Amino acid sequence: MNDRLRIALYQPDIAGNTGTILRFAACLGLDVDIVEPAGFPISDRSLKRAGMDYLEMARLSRHVDWQAFEDWRRSEARRLVLLSTKAATAYTDFAFAAGDILLFGRESAGVPDSVHEAVDARLTIPMQPGARSINVALSVAMAAGEAIRQLR
């Protein structure tokens, strides 16, 4: 196993967000996992528009479903760290480690309870009272930015 940070997207359903995240990850040297099914084909025009030519640089692994992703992750002995609006620990209070996978939920529904329970840690980005959630690509940038800051 290499010690790069990874970004995992659970069944993403907005192609433009995934393209933005793939561009971000390519620029920063992060690997990306997509846990399928996604709500769009990987050839989607919005994904290509947001990811631009950075898609060619992106290190993307696709997993056919959650079980396939989990089997692979356990074989690599990587920690899985979920970013969730329902977590109690602030992402800035967590000690990230090399090789961690930061997991983000789908835009429409986050992750199911079974996934919430399967992870090693659950973190939140504190928001103002009444705010529901941050765009998933922005939450990737915030959490990955903090992990990179700690591990630099």
What are the tokens at 27? 């620029």
- CB 111 within 8 Å of CB 9: no
Judge whether 151 is annotated as a binding position.
no
The 80-119 site mask, x for binding ligand SAM (CB under 6 A), equals: ---xxx------------------xx-x-xx---------
Going by the DSSP 8-state scheme, the letter that residue 37 receives in this structure is: P
Residue 145 DSSP class: H
Residue 42 assigned as binding residue? no
Furthest C-alpha separation in the chain:
41
Nearer to ligand SAM by C-beta: 57 or 85? 85
- Contacts to ligand SAM from residues 55-84, by CB under 6 A: 83-84
Measured from the CB of residue 110, what is the shortest distance to ligand SAM in angstroms?
2
Least distance (Å) between residue 151 CB and ligand SAM: 19
Euclidean distance between CA atoms 125 and 147, whole angstroms: 13
CA-CA distance, 152 to 77, in Å (whole number)?
22
What single-letter amino acid sits at 82?
L
User: Is there binding between residue 17 and ligand SAM (CB under 6 A)?
Assistant: no
Shortest CB 87 distance to ligand SAM, Å: 7
CA distances from 9 to 17, 38, 41, 105 (A): 10, 9, 14, 6
Is 60 marked as a binding-site residue? no
Q: Is 29 annotated as a binding residue?
A: no
Residues found near ligand SAM in the complex (CB under 6 A): 83-85, 104-105, 107, 109-110, 124-125, 127, 133-134, 136, 139
